[in-house]
A and B are shown apart, each in its own frame.
Chain A
Amino acid sequence: MTANLIKIEGITKTYITGNTTLTALKEINLIVPPGESVAVMGPSGSGKSTLLSIIGGLNLPSSGAITIDDINLYTLSRERRADFRREYLGFVFQQFQLIPYLTALENVMLPLTTTGYSSRQKREMALQSLEKVNLLARNNHLPNQLSGGEQERVAIARAIVNEPPLILADEPTGSLDTNTAVEIMELFRRLNDNGLTILMVTHNPNNTAYMKRTITMQDGMLTGDTHSLTVADSTTVKLLDKVGGLK
């Protein structure tokens, strides 16, 4: 692992629709070392999700360069970028985005589908991943048989099953109640404690308490970059919630 897991240099992203040009990102520079956890905050339309999708190799920047673990992402072909995502990234989407006709276990096994592991190995890895998110007992349930929090945990298990160095999460607690959101954020914190680098887009300021660093965005530009107060345990978070959070 290199000293800078994510290195973004002068990334700009513009969308051209007819005569209209929309600049989603303007000259973004960012360095994220391994083991860091970063919350990306900002109002809707500030470019958070665009930034996440570019880091994830899903969206091409208009200019600038991005390297992850010294791999220049956008010099790779589309198919090689898919391989890169499978090996280096774990995605946790908003609304969980589980495949509805697959069980929790099968959903978790998905990123391993095209790897060289045997069926038994894939199953073992998926079960271990579910165990890490405390959902082993529900491995045979379909997503619609699981609660929101459980679905989120399946999504996290899916993101970590192939042990990627970087997790990209987009509003992971956006559709969860407060208590469940706290559980999920604690889970992220534990994963980070175990060495995983996490980059999370969030609207919820409470979530920043679980991240080591918070960057803020406005109109496609980085407007702030601070190291947050980290929360040691859920009791503290609940206490903070009672007194109005970290605002």
Chain B
Amino acid sequence: MTLFQIALHNLKRRKSKMFFMLLGLSIASTAVVCIFTIVSSMQVTISRQLADIGANIIITANSESLSFQYGGITIPELIYDAATLSESDLETIKALPDSVGIITISPKLTGTLAHKIHQLVITGSHLPSEFSVKPWLRFHEDHDQGNSDDEIDVAGSAEEESSTVSEADGEEMVMDYHALNLERIRDVPLLAHNEIVLGSAVAAMLEIAGGEILEVNDKEYSVVAVLEVNGMADDNQVFMNLEEAQTLLGLPGELTVIELTADFKQVPLETLIRHLEDVLPHATISSVSQAVTRRNELLSSFYRFGLLSGSLIFFTGLLFVALTMSSIVRERTREIGIFRAIGFRGKEVFKIITIETVLLSIFAGMAGYHGGLFTAQVIAPSLTGNALKIPWQLLPFIATVCVTALAGALAAVYPSLKAARLDPAEALRYI
């Protein structure tokens, strides 16, 4: 017979009370894990944006228009079918003294076309440049089956390198916090005039896979690939050759947006924006980093709020444990009196109560971690816009269990002290 065995026996004996205490602590633990999981996943998204698209510059025509989701970031003043930039603007940009620092220029024309009962969003672009400015773009392996040569290889390597893996149903995105791979795909092919790449949502809507033919405006286009789902505007677009899109949309030489990536060590971001504003007075110059920074600030506020509310929930849980254990100690007054009368020291009684609480807290931590992951997975889509499949990870699991156990030990201090200080004569009043 050991103190641990005594504690374990008592836990088994008071099943219903212990169950409710376990439930209370598990809920508190679940809430905290859920909040931190969601905030962490949002931070991953933001980090990705900051790291890889944060430095991009978006050039759009001046217009009162709808906002546009770009790379998960809201870019104002851009509207489909509102192309008022031209290819001559590209020459102006290239002529800038700062152009040595510009790495990629990706001109695009975006417009809508009716197709049967659907409206298609057509984006004419230079595909390698598009992949360069949007490092998250990946070809979907399943849709490359009918393609030949390089395209299949590209898709294959993309799949291997990708840390953002689509599920078979194309709905879920796995967030692996420690292995985000945003390495750009190299050797992205130029699209011929009769070739297109479909966003995942368009492909699903039209029920077209890679290698099949899509007919638009009486012209047949070969679908060379389908993109992986990424939860952004790309999912809804049909990518094609820029010139072909200009012809198809009846806007020869026109552009909707020009996106730049630059080496800002060579050219400071603010300087480049100022120079672009000088030479392109008819355009609006936006830095995605500004939008991302604003969103990051919002996330920081959300994180602080999460920290505060999580802590409050957790402390409420601990208070609940402390009160319940105190009431159990009151119920066990006579039993504790017996322990003391037959020679248990106060510290040994303290240990029994603490062991019981810590044991319970360990189970609550285990349940809370899994409950938190599950809850985060369920409610994340409404908060982040992305369905997340959050992987089970050993270290966070151990950390959750340890923190909950430590918190349980703290919550046990008062009831344990109360038990240890019980006067045995008082406890066994009838003696």
User: Which A residues are within 8 Å of any B CB, using their own CB?
Assistant: 49, 52-53, 56, 58-59, 78-79, 82-83, 85-87, 89, 91, 93-94, 97, 99-102, 106, 109-114, 119, 122, 158, 162, 170
Contact = CB atoms under 8 A, between A and B. Distances in A.
Interface stretch (B44-52, B215-223, B342-350): B342-350
A122 B1 contact: yes
A184 to B, nearest CB: 19
11 contacts: A53-B425, A82-B345, A82-B346, A85-B342, A91-B341, A97-B428, A99-B338, A101-B12, A102-B1, A110-B339, A114-B344
Contacts of A56: 341, 431
Contacts of A110: 1, 339, 342
B3 interface: yes
A83 B347 CA distance: 12
A165 to B, nearest CB: 14
Contact of B10 (A89, A101, A114): A101
Nearest to B13: A101
Interface in B1-36: 1-3, 5-6, 9-10, 12-13
Contact of A112 (B1, B3, B5, B341): B1
Of B335, B340, B344, B431, the most chain A CB neighbours within 10 A belong to: B431
B345 A102 contact: no
Given A58-B431, A122-B1, A170-B430, 4 more contacts: A82-B346, A99-B335, A101-B12, A119-B1
A91 B427 CA distance: 14
What bracket does the count of chain B residues touching chain A fall in?
20 to 34
Nearest to B340: A82
B408 interface: no
A78 B12 CA distance: 31
A111 B334 contact: no
Contacts of A170: 430-431
Nearest to B348: A114
Contacts of B346: 78-79, 82
B348 A93 contact: no
A97 B338 contact: yes
A49 B343 contact: no
A113 B6 contact: yes
Given A49-B431, A101-B13, A158 B347 contact: no
A101 B340 CA distance: 17
A111 B338 contact: no
Contact of B428 (A83, A89, A93, A122): A93
Pick the 3 closest A-B CB pairs, nearest first. Answer: A86-B343, A101-B13, A109-B1
Contacts of B348: 113-114
A106 B1 contact: yes
A60 to B, nearest CB: 8
A82 B342 CA distance: 7
Contact of A85 (B1, B5, B343): B343
B13 A114 contact: no
B314 to A, nearest CB: 30
A106 B5 CA distance: 10
Given A56-B431, A93-B428, A111 B10 contact: no
Contacts of B339: 110
A225 B335 CA distance: 34
A111 B348 CA distance: 12
B415 to A, nearest CB: 18
A86 B13 contact: no
Given A85-B341, A91-B341, A113 B424 contact: no
A170 B431 CA distance: 7
A242 to B, nearest CB: 32
Contacts of B425: 53, 58-59
Contacts of B340: 58, 82
A96 to B, nearest CB: 10
Contacts of B343: 82-83, 85-87, 89, 111, 114, 162
Contacts of A122: 1
Contacts of A58: 340-341, 424-425, 428, 431
Contacts of A86: 342-344
Interface string B264-297: 0000000000000000000000000000000000
A82 B10 CA distance: 22
Contact of B344 (A91, A106, A113, A119): A113
A94 B139 CA distance: 81
Nearest to A126: B1
A56 B347 CA distance: 20
A53 B431 contact: yes
Interface string B394-431: 00000000000000000000000000000011001011
